[in-house]
Amino acid sequence: MTLHVRVNEDVAVSPTSSINQFKSQSFYKRYAKRGLDIALVLLFLPIFGPLVLIMAAVTALDGSNPFYSQLRVGMNGRFFRIWKIRTMTVDADVRLESFLKSNPEARAEWNKHQKLKNDPRITSVGRFLRKASLDELPQLFNVLQGSMSLVGPRPMMPDQEQYYFGSAYYSLRPGLTGLWQISERNESSFVDRVAFDDAYSQSMSFRTDVKTLLKTVLVVIRGTGY
C-alpha cells in the first residue's frame, strides 16, 4: 500500500521505487544534506545568534535560567539534549499535572496532541516566542553539533517512543522543521507525526528540504505556533 501524506492543499508526498531516485536520495542523505545544514547555519548565524541572545536576556528578567534543555531521542535511538529559549514557568511539570488532574477536557487534548492550546505553564514572553516559533532557534547549535538537521522529524521525548515503533524516525536526524511543522499541525493528532516522518524518509531530497525551509518561513510569519 502506498502512503500519501498531504502537507498542504497542493503538495502530496509519496514513496518511489525508482533506482536512480534512490541512489540520488542516498547520496544526498549521506553527504550533501549535512553539508547543506552546516552551510545554511553558518550563513545565518550572524543574524540569528544575536537574536537568541536578545531573547535570552528578555526571558531572564524573571530571574531564572533563560535556556531550557530536554532529553530527546535522535538518529539510531541515541539520546541528545535539545535546546530552547525557556517559555514556561520554572514549576512547569508540577503545574501541568495539577492542571490535567482537574480538567478532563485538557487531559483528553493532551493525550491526543501532547500539547495544549491554553497551556497554564506558558509565560507571557513565552507565548509570543512560541507563536513565532522563535523559542526553537537555539536548536541551530544542535544542528551544528550534528544531533539535529534543519529538516527532519520533530524530535521525540523518550516516553513517546511507543508511538514510533517501526517508523523511519530512527534512520533520520530530527529536524528543526519538517513536513509536520508546515502542515495543519495543530489539527493533527500526535500519532500522525509518524506518517509525516515516514513520508519524509521516502521523499527526502535537496528540493524537498529547500521547499520545506521556505514554507517554514511562511508558517513563522503566520504565527500559528503555540
pLDDT in tens, 16-35: 444 555 566 788 988 899 99
pLDDT means per 10 residues in the chain (226 residues)? Answer: 43 48 74 95 94 94 90 94 92 85 86 81 89 91 96 91 85 93 74 86 93 91 71
93 to each of 85, 141, 163, 197, 201, how far by Cα in Å? Answer: 17, 25, 22, 28, 33
Position 114 in a domain: no
Position 16 in a domain: no
Position 205 in a domain: yes
Cell of 112: 491526543
Measured between alpha carbons, how far is 45 from 222 in angstroms, rounded to an integer? 23
Position 14 in a domain: no
Residue ranges making up the domain that contains 32? 22-87+122-221
Position 107 in a domain: no
Are 201 and 171 within 8 A, CB to CB? yes
Measured between alpha carbons, how far is 226 from 214 in angstroms, rounded to an integer? 20
Position 6 in a domain: no
Domain count, the chain: 1
Query: What is the reported pLDDT for 63?
Result: 85
163 to each of 114, 142, 197, how far by Cα in Å? Answer: 12, 24, 12
Q: Which amino acid is at 134?
A: L
Measured between alpha carbons, how far is 182 from 25 in angstroms, rounded to an integer? 21
Cell of 66: 533563560
